Chain A
Amino acid sequence: MKRLLSACLLALLLNGCVTSEEDPNDPLEPLNRHTQGGFLWLDDHLLHPVADAYVEGFPTGLRRAIHNALANLGLPTVIVNDLLQGNPLRSAGALGRLAINTTAGLGGLFDVAADAGLPAHEADFGQTFGVWGIGEGPYLFLPFFGPSNPRDAIGVALGIATNPAMLLGGNDAAMMVGGELATGAIDRRANRGRALDQMRAESFDFYVTLRDAYRQNRAYRIEQGRAGR
């Protein structure tokens, strides 16, 4: 049974982006739609109001500092994944960003590295798996995490497991990681609010819009990873 499940999981992962007009590779669409509905309800009634209050209550400079600090905490993941994708120079750049922003940037509050010619870039485990040729599998809409697929979901789990805060262990680790996730969610919603609202307003079917946007973006990220950009 375990072998069968593993084989099924592997088949899902290697399925690749088998989408077509007739088959969007979304066998769990009814469940995904329900999950998205719940996600959007939470967004409308909790995350969006909290993000709005955050924007109104915190000055731009402070919000920028929080955003920078969160980005700095995510750099170890970027460094590792750049290497795994075969982009050592990009990895070195990310390492440089971590070193400069942690020291001269006062613990990551200021993005001094960008001014020094080391701009930010993203790299994550899901992207790495894609660069390695592992297919995305069917579309998933995860509670709290939003649009995803088996490959990227495993990438998210791996990212959390390898978060340096996990070294604290026990409740401390859970609080640190949980706090980082929650703050990051508010930060992202504050920055993306208008874009998301705009996209929703001009969609005919927001579920399909998000699914397609997610896939387009991930395909783009993987292409960038392969090209070392």
Chain B
Amino acid sequence: MPIFSILPRALACLGLLAAAPVFATAAGPGARADSFDTALLDTMKSARSLGPQGRYDRLVPVMKEDFDFTGMTRDIAGMQWSRLAPEQQSRLVTAFSRFETAMFADWFDSYAGQSFQVKDVVIRNDDVATVGVALSGAGPVLRLEYVLRVDSAGGWHIVDVRYEGWMSVVERRREEFAEIMSRYGFEELMARLEAKGHELVDHADNAASPHLQRPIRDLWDRPLMPIQ
């Protein structure tokens, strides 16, 4: 076969091979959630020796990779987002990502044999997915639900976390941010975000109080009084 007829096909093959790593590494939603949980579990296993700052430092690159903090911040800011200048938007994303990472570092502060297990993956409209995960091993099983969106490169990233099927991080923070920005303004929100993030990382671990194992379930498992 003349080389001129082989060459285009060879180049096409090379092109496909070059593109293959992109498709190979673009994790599906289930794989993305599983990857994050694995990294989280590794951090938990060394939680006490790392301390809050150490856990935070370890989680920063992990969450930067697995979460879409820009998307989350935009969802949380809601209508306020378009009223912010680009520089303010950038500052808010940075402050929120630091705060959220600090929260995870604070929550997952111990290990008592827990494990994460992906239970179900549901994809809607090809660009939004929910991944149900069970956290078990320390008391009752805690149900987490990651909400993910696909980006323009085909990669899935976490944009919300729901605890026990109802407590959404984004919805919770949306109300708080809206209240603070409308009452006190953008700079006050930034100050509180940054202060709270530092506070979460600076405090010492409380050995008697493992956090996430039974938080939200207990709070609203039933109304405050037994009779309703």
CB distance from A175 to the nearest CB of B (A): 14
B165 to chain A, nearest CB (A): 6
**Interfacial chain B residues near A145, Cβ < 8 Å:** 224-225
CA distance A152 to B78 in the complex (A): 29
Scoring A residues 123 to 165 as 1 if CB is less than 8 Å from chain B, else 0, what string do you get? 0111000000000000000000110000010011001100100
Contacts A198-B211, A216-B167 given; indicate if A159 touches B180 (C-beta within 8 A): no
Q: Is A192 located at the chain interface by the 8 A CB criterion?
A: yes
A181: nearest residue on chain B (CB-CB)? B225
Q: 0/1 per residue, A201-229, Cβ < 8 Å to B? A: 11111001101111011011000000000
Interface residues of B in 35-50 (CB under 8 A from A): none
Q: Contact: B227 with A204, CB < 8 Å?
A: no
Is B57 part of the binding interface, using a Cβ–Cβ cutoff of 8 Å? no
| A220 near B227: Cβ-Cβ < 8 Å | no
B3 at the interface (CB under 8 A from A): no
A192 touches B218 (CB 8 A): yes
Segment at the interface with A among B112-120, B122-130, B168-176: B168-176
Asked if B216 is at the interface of the complex by the 8 Å CB criterion, the answer is yes
Interface residues of B in 14-34 (CB under 8 A from A): none
State whether A146 touches B224 (Cβ < 8 A): yes
Q: Give the chain B neighbours of A194 by CB distance below 8 A.
A: 209, 211, 214-215, 218
Do A208 and B225 touch across chains, with their CB atoms under 8 A apart?
no
Q: Which of B143-199 contact A (CB under 8 A)?
A: 165-168, 171-172, 174-180, 189, 192-193, 196
Query: A74 touching B175 by the CB < 8 A rule?
Result: no
Contact, CB under 8 Å: B227 / A163: yes
User: B175 and A220: CB pair below 8 A?
Assistant: no
Within 8 A of B (CB), among A91-144: 122, 124-126
Interface residue? A195 (CB, 8 A): yes
Contact between A213 and B78 (Cβ–Cβ < 8 Å)?
A: no
Minimal beta-carbon separation of B170 from chain A (angstroms): 11
Q: Is the CB of B227 within 8 A of A74?
A: yes
On B, residues with C-beta under 8 Å from A are 78-80, 103, 106-107, 165-168, 171-172, 174-180, 189, 192-193, 196, 200, 209, 211, 214-228
Please report A residues at the B interface, Cβ cutoff 8 Å: 21-22, 24, 70-71, 73-74, 77, 122, 124-126, 145-146, 152, 155-156, 159-160, 163, 177, 180-181, 184-185, 187-188, 191-192, 194-196, 198-199, 201-205, 208-209, 211-214, 216-217, 219-220
